[in-house]
Amino acid sequence: MSGLFEFVISNLLTVSFAVAVIGAATPLLLAATGELIVERSGVLNLGVEGMMLAGALAGFAASQELSYAVGIPAAALAGALLALIFAFFTQTLLTNQVATGLALTIFGIGITKLIGEPYTGTPLEPMAPLFSEGPQQIPVIGPIVFGHDPFVYLSVIGILGTWYFLFRTRAGLILRAVGEDHNSAHALGCHVVGIRYAAILVGGAFAGLGGAYMSMVKTPQWNEGMTAGSGWIALALIVFATWRPMRLWLGAYLFGALLVLQLRIQGTGVSVGVTYFLTMVPYLATILVLVIMSWDKVALRRHAPASIGKIFKPAS
């Protein structure tokens, strides 16, 4: 027990733990923020992983060839470009969203591997923190608040902005209305398809940024399939958050904490046989949290966009 206490004090209640968690969570938070907007509009896009890879490659390539300033928008653009394919298929051609999303993921994995080949194995200068040395020197607050690269701040602005947009603006209200009941929204004169196109594109841009965080900041290199399943975790986080932005923020950091925690437990020396089960922890925890969050059916129904995944076909 005292060992556990010591582990908590020396490992979890540290600044470095907080910083590591933010680093692990940021790509998930970015991608999940985008998907939250998409799902709030009543669309389920399972292509997050593919869009993240597109962003990772575009961000890396543009940063290496030109500059970081170009890399960031390039990543968002690449994610949005893949999202456009999804939007065209599901909104214009009225295809099944699950199938189209899966196709997009496989397509994204494959096409980035083909196009990205020349960039593999080439290094990229790590991105500098946004703030200067001064504020970073402040104890505790410094590294946690001021020590990050631009992506971390983008992710925070993104999730706060999403909350504001969804719940404090008229446009957000319309988007949610479309997600709740597209037929009524259409009857009220909302351009359902147009709104969903916009949401899907924004979602793709966020996913692209999430991927780019991995190829530009976390491990500044491009490698095929480097997002290694993050897109799927991002999808799970949204249900965990019951489609609410603030909970999503919390959920992403919680998942990041679990990931870092299992590695830190290993670092203290455990039996090899245990490591397989430690690796399972973040996934099992996701399931557990999904169960807890979904338990209250009424609450879930209240928050889940009712039209999600359903095909909308306007009469004219």
Q: Which of residues 95-124 bind another protein (CB under 8 A)?
A: 95-96, 98-100, 102-104, 106-107, 109-111, 113-114, 117, 120-123
136 vs 221 by CB, closer to another protein: 221
6 vs 169 by CB, closer to another protein: 6
From its phi and psi, is residue 26 left (phi > 0), alpha (psi between -120 and 50) or beta?
A: alpha
Q: What is the dihedral of CA 47, 76, 286, 246, to 10 degrees?
A: -130
Residue list 231-250, contact with another protein (CB under 8 A): 232, 235-236, 239
| Integer Cα distance of 184 and 204 in angstroms | 26
Query: C-alpha distances in angstroms, 233 versus 27, 30, 97, 224, 282?
Result: 10, 12, 18, 18, 10
| Integer Cα distance of 100 and 90 in angstroms | 7
Q: Distance between alpha carbon 303 and the CA centroid of its chain, in Å?
A: 19
Q: Is 24 in the site for another protein (CB under 8 A)?
A: yes
Q: Of 16-24, 59-67, 130-138, 241-249, which segment contacts another protein by CB under 8 A?
A: 16-24
Residue 120's DSSP bridge partners are 222
CB of 171 to another protein, least distance (A): 23
Contact pick of 9, 16, 141, 194 for another protein (by CB under 8 A): 16
Tokens standing for residue 171? 């446009």
Binding mask 295-314 for another protein (x = CB under 8 A): x-x--x--------xxxxxx
In this structure, the number of other CB atoms found within 10 A of the CB of residue 209 comes to 31
Q: Of 71-79, 139-147, 171-179, 271-279, which segment contacts another protein by CB under 8 A?
A: 271-279
Q: Is 3 in the site for another protein (CB under 8 A)?
A: no
Q: Of 72-80, 151-159, 222-230, 247-255, which segment contacts another protein by CB under 8 A?
A: 222-230
